[in-house]
A and B are shown apart, each in its own frame.
Chain A
Amino acid sequence: MPSPEDIKRRIEAAIPGAHAEVEDYTGGGDHFRATVTAAAFEGRSRVEQHRLVYEVFGAEIGGAIHALSLRTQTPVKIQSH
């Protein structure tokens, strides 16, 4: 059974520069919620961003990982005026 740390490590290893925060929100080891921040998401639609993360796990989504709830974002850019 994957742990939140496993999920985090795999996302961060697969998507260059990604930072992931993962929680097991039922405590059962199969429902996870992840917030992923990555510059690689820039210029991509939400659907494409989520696909990038889902692709890390392939057929495990819906299998060993029953649910992986996602929030994806690009790193905040602070502009000075």
Chain B
Amino acid sequence: MSTSQSNPIRDAIAEAIEEHRVILFMKGTPEAPACGFSARTVAALQALDTPFAAVDVLPDPRIRQELSAISNWPTVPQLFANGELIGGCDIVTEMYESGELAQALQ
């Protein structure tokens, strides 16, 4: 695989992660999640009243491919805060329940 070629999708994802303090890559939208894991992750963020950006990975399979290549994380949803991967649904849920999530999202 060549890394020297320009990759607009990967660049756009990296930029979005950098530009938004809290950003969720998910299946569907916060209003209409298309998967139970995405729905649970959105619910945790909403319960904390955290403003977040959301990207639907479903319209183009390349979004998910490039996202996983950047994050080294195989599944969706993926939550990022301050440019760092916080985790997927399991980690977000665990951190919400323990109270750590609010702190991580500051």
A68 to B88, CA, bound (A): 11
Residue-by-residue, is B81-101 near A (CB-CB < 8 Å gives 1, otherwise 0)?
Answer: 000011111110011000000
Q: Binary interface profile of A, 27-71, with partner B (CB < 8 Å = 1, else 0)? A: 000000000000000000011001100100000011000011111
How many residues of A are in contact with the other chain, CB < 8 A? 12
Q: Are A62 and B94 in contact (CB under 8 A)?
A: no
Chain B interface main SS type: mixed
Q: Which residues of chain A are within 8 angstroms of B50 by Cβ–Cβ distance? A: none
Q: List A residues at the B interface (Cβ < 8 Å).
A: 46-47, 50-51, 54, 61-62, 67-71
Chosen A-B contacts, 7 in total, with CB atoms closer than 8 Å, are A46-B94, A46-B95, A47-B86, A47-B91, A51-B73, A61-B74, A67-B75
